[in-house]
Structure 1
Amino acid sequence: MQDACDSVTVPILADSGKGTASFFKTTFNCLNTLLGIAVLSVPYALSCGGWASLLLLLIIPTATCYTGLLIEKCMQADSNIRTFPGIGEKAFGARGRLVVSIFINLELYLIAISFLILVADNLHSLVPNLHVSVQGFVINGHQTCILLAAVIIMPTVWIDNLTTLSYVSATGIVATVVIAGSVVWSGAFDGVGFNQKGVFLNWSGLPTSLSLYTLCYCNHPIFPTLYTSMRNRKQFKWVLVVCFVITTSVCVSMAILGYLMFGSQLKSQITLNLPTNALSAKVATYTALVNPLAKYALFLKPIVDAVESRLLSAHGKRIGSAFTGSALLCSTVLVALTIPYYEIFMSFIGAFTTVIGSILLPCLCYLRICGGCVDLGFELVVIRCTVLMGLLILVVGTYTCFIQIFEILYI
């Protein structure tokens, strides 16, 4: 289960266990996981916190790049470690492996739900009048789009070999470039312009900004697989530095351009703000539709494998896999229909699972594995500050998400 969780999220890393990947290939794979759907929400995050929150978009990648380097040091401490759950086991035994595996699968499950909502939001923007009426019971447009997305995705969760979808989902970098280009084109040539001033600081929106910025750097569980895949593992630290610099540059650029274009009117995904009649908007929207549809089954597969390993015998495993995948898809549909708010889901993932998986666990595991054999000195101060920052985002961001959900459902 644990190895599947890592390899599935690095879809084109076919030789991940052989140690033959070049610096370029590893960098490409790492960028492909970093430059995901979270980039669509960075302009909205900036609009929540104001221009001053851009400082957070420099602090958070610095901290998460550092925790990535801590994962590398944990890998160097024991050559037998090959996965993120393996680091947890080395640090805290079987319980450590279990805890890490739970958080990895929880994050994948929540991202799968956000995929459904993302597809439904963009599909609804293309066909706003779509709705279904069954014997007087009306299903509104957004709910219909969620159900339609589930119908399209359903056959993919029945596929046991996801190689083809893996290669399709490996176009994450291309998708990001296409969407970014479409946004720039809309601003420059489709009459939108870059004239909004925005606000300098919005204290009430900072928790959401923190959570969404953190979500952009949530791929730490695949770092061990990337590390073990490399021909020259001494170059891994430079892979991290290059990838985090490029990702941060893209995020900052998207945030600034989006905020200048739409200001406080920004929606949870910048594609929803683009003029629907413009070709550039249609290109961005269709690109935002295809990528999540291809990735959904890949993100769900480790959870299916985990359930199979616990509950199913080898006999009838194929049928059981299809049933498990279908049941998990149905459960994500129910959650998406109940809480169809993309920004809340993305904020919760960033504030909760990403903080735990990409900030807290790397620090705690490093202290447990390497703390007794090296003189930490100033590094211990840095780690403590990183943990405190993570705990701040965890508490404030998660609390804010729950308050937002409560207000929507009960007020």
Structure 2
Amino acid sequence: MEAKNQENYSLTIPLVLNSGDVEQGQEEYTNNINNASFISTCFNCLNSLSGVGILSIPYALASGGWLSLILLFIIASSTFYTGLLIKRCMDADPTIRSYPDIGDRAFGKTGRMIVSITMNVEFYLVATGFLILESDNLSNLFPHVSFDISGTRIGLKHGFLILVAFILLPTSCFNSMSVLSYISASGVLASMLILGSIFWAGAFDHIGFHEKGKVINWNGLPSAISLYTFCYCAHPVFPTLYTSMRNQRQFSKVLFICFALCTVTYSLMAIIGYLMFGSKAESQITLNLPTHHISSRVAICTTLVTPIAKYALMLTPIVNTIETHFQSSCNKKLFNSIVRTILLISTVIVALSIPFFGYLMSLVGALLSATGSITIPCLCYLKISGIYKKNGIELVIVGFVVMIGLVVGVVGTYVSLVDIIHHL
């Protein structure tokens, strides 16, 4: 995705990767490849998996109840496995350099198109979610601000959303990936800071951890599993991380470490938030925090800064795709800026029309993350490896994971759309 960035979304663009030539005793199919160390790749992978999903994870647990944590671990295990399948696909054909390349290798131009569309729509909706997140938290932080344009009063959230769009306009026109990657370098730290601030608010700011919650909430399970899936939607960036490694045989270890750490972080945030606010947990945990405490302000301000830093990263792969399909005879820099501005305006319109962060991210998780991070890697691996022609335990496992992706996609998408339509 970033790029993932790809951030969340949870998004998820990698940080700056070390440049150089990979030396593995074999011929490479590219003359310009990165040379990232094990630690660097771990950090980049953690950044791609760490995103705004951490804000909605308590809401997901509140929707499904305590037993829904089992679903979190199932999704984490499934997406870790599909990450390994992406590695196997790339091992099978060293010419594969990106996620769309995997789709192309498996199913030709149709596969490339499906993968590309899934990625870019996901980036677009996550960028839209950033605007909603900013608007919601600014409204919570400054509830008495009013907006008037030519004598017409604008709603608080709408006013902040438009204000954020003006702030984002200059950053959305950045087209240097080196600059954007440095901007995104705060992703992992931001997630840790938010988790620590919220724990502090519960432990030392008189909020406490007194809510018991429900064991299971059957009606909320589809939303819960959709949001859990959204937290692990970094797969489009894995090929970039893989090709960047000095020792690509260690990539499986990178995935295990990063998925394990992120799952622990998500679980802690979910449990802490649910114990603090129970069924009253908002779609963003920061909206529950009393704004007069320093810890709450730290969490909210960190939440506000991160999307601003990463919004442009979400637009970059979309702009690159548009430039590839619509080669312009005019100045490339001008064309790039025009496309980014149009995309920004369109995300503002969508955010104003569907101002429901939780429901929108649930839709992204069910429709796009489940497809891009679970179903597509499995289907591509089946085709590239040819194991669909054989009977064996691996075929059963891959088939089971495909079923998880399809169930999450169909059920979660339906429930998310119903929720959005009901609240329009």
What range describes the TM-score normalised by the shorter chain of this pair? over 0.9
Contact 2:382 2:388 in 1 (8 A): no
> Which residue of the partner structure matches residue 213 of structure 2?
198
Partners of 1:70 and 1:325 in 2: CA distance: 33
Residues 47, 188 of structure 2: 8 Å contact kept: yes
CA shift in 2, pair 1:391/1:372, >3 Å: closer
Which position in structure 1 is the counterpart of 2:276? Answer: 261
Decide whether the 8 Å contact of 2:60 with 2:223 is kept in 1. yes
Percent of matched pairs sharing the same residue: 49
Conserved 8 A contact 1:312-1:320? no
Shift, 1:130, TM fit: 2.0
Partner residue of 2:13? 9
- Pick aligned residue for 2:100 from 59, 82, 85: 85
Deviation at 1:135, TM superposition (A): 4.1
Aligned equivalent of 2:70, options 55, 69, 78: 55
Q: Which runs of 5+ in 2 are unaligned?
A: 7-11, 21-31
Paired residues of 2:18 and 2:36 also in contact (CA < 8 A): no
1:133-144 equivalent positions in 2, closer than 5 A: 133-144=148-159
Partners of 1:3 and 1:118 in 2: CA distance:
20
Alignment partners' CA distance in 2, 1:46 and 1:372: 36
User: SS state of the match for residue 255, structure 1?
Assistant: helix
Aligned to 1:325: 340
Does the C-alpha gap of structure 1 residues 147 and 232 become closer, same or farther in structure 2, counting only changes over 3 Å? same
Question: What's the offset of the Cα at 1:309?
Answer: 2.2
SS in 2 for 1:151: helix
Amino acid at match of 2:333: R
Residue 35 of structure 1 is matched in structure 2 by: 50
- Name the structure 1 match of 2:229: 214
User: Does the 8 A contact of 1:71 with 1:366 survive in 2?
Assistant: yes
Deviation of 1:323 after TM superposition, in Å, equals 1.0
69, 72, 85: which is aligned to 2:87?
Answer: 72
Question: Hey, what does 2:9 align to over in structure 1?
Answer: none
**Deviations along 1:76-97, whole A, 9 cap, x unmatched?**
0011111111111110111111
Deviation of 1:162 (Å): 4.1
Pairs within 5 Å for 1:149-228: 149-228=164-243
Q: Which residue of 2 aligns with 1:341?
A: 356
- Match of 1:87, as an amino acid? I
Contact preservation (8 Å) 2:5, 2:48: no
* Equivalent in 316, 321, 332 of residue 331 of structure 2: 316
Is this contact kept in 2: 1:130–1:144, CA < 8 A? no
Counterpart of 1:170 in 2: which secondary structure? helix
Deviates more, 1:110-119 or 1:314-323: 314-323
| CA separation of 1:6 and 1:211: change in aligned 2, threshold 3 A | closer
- Structure 1 pair 172–386 and aligned structure 2 pair: CA distance change class (3 A): same
By how many angstroms is 1:310 displaced? 2.0
Please give the secondary structure, in 1, of the residue aligned with 2:208. Answer: coil
Structure 1 equivalent of residue 113 of structure 2? 98
CA distance in 1, matches of 2:414, 2:286: 28
Q: Cα RMSD between the aligned structures?
A: 1.8
User: Any gaps of 5 or more consecutive residues in structure 1?
Assistant: none
Matched residues, number: 408
SS of match in other structure, 1:128: coil
Task: Supply the AA of the counterpart residue of 1:11.
Answer: L
Counterpart code for 1:164: V
The change in CA–CA distance for 1:337 and 1:252 in structure 2 (over 3 A counts) is: same
**Helix, strand or coil at the partner of 1:171:** helix
Asked whether the equivalents of residues 156 and 297 of structure 1 are also in contact (C-alpha less than 8 Å), the reply is yes
One-letter identity of the residue aligned with 2:366: A
Would the alpha carbon gap of residues 4 and 266 (structure 1) be closer, same or farther in structure 2, given more than 3 Å must change? closer
Q: Is the 8 A contact 1:46 1:209 kept in 2?
A: yes
Whether the 8 Å CA contact 2:15–2:47 is kept in 1: the answer is no
2:295 maps to 280
Separation of aligned partners in 1, 2:304 and 2:147: 21
Equivalent residue, structure 2, for 1:382: 397
Distance in 1 (alpha carbons) for counterparts of 2:110 and 2:208:
54
Cα distance in structure 2, aligned partners of 1:248 and 1:265:
23
Contact 1:3/1:83 (<8 A) preserved: no
Look up the match of 1:132: 147
In structure 1, C-alpha distance between the alignment counterparts of 2:177 and 2:387, rounded to whole Å:
42
TM-score by length of 1: 0.96
The aligned amino acid for 1:9 is I
Letter in 1 for 2:168: I
The answer to whether structure 1 residue 297 and structure 2 residue 312 are counterparts is yes
Comparing 155-164 with 77-86, greater Cα deviation is found at 155-164
Of stretches 313-322 and 149-158 in structure 1, the one that deviates more from structure 2 is: 313-322
Retained in 1: the 8 A contact 2:2–2:314?
A: no
Residue aligned with 2:148, SS: strand
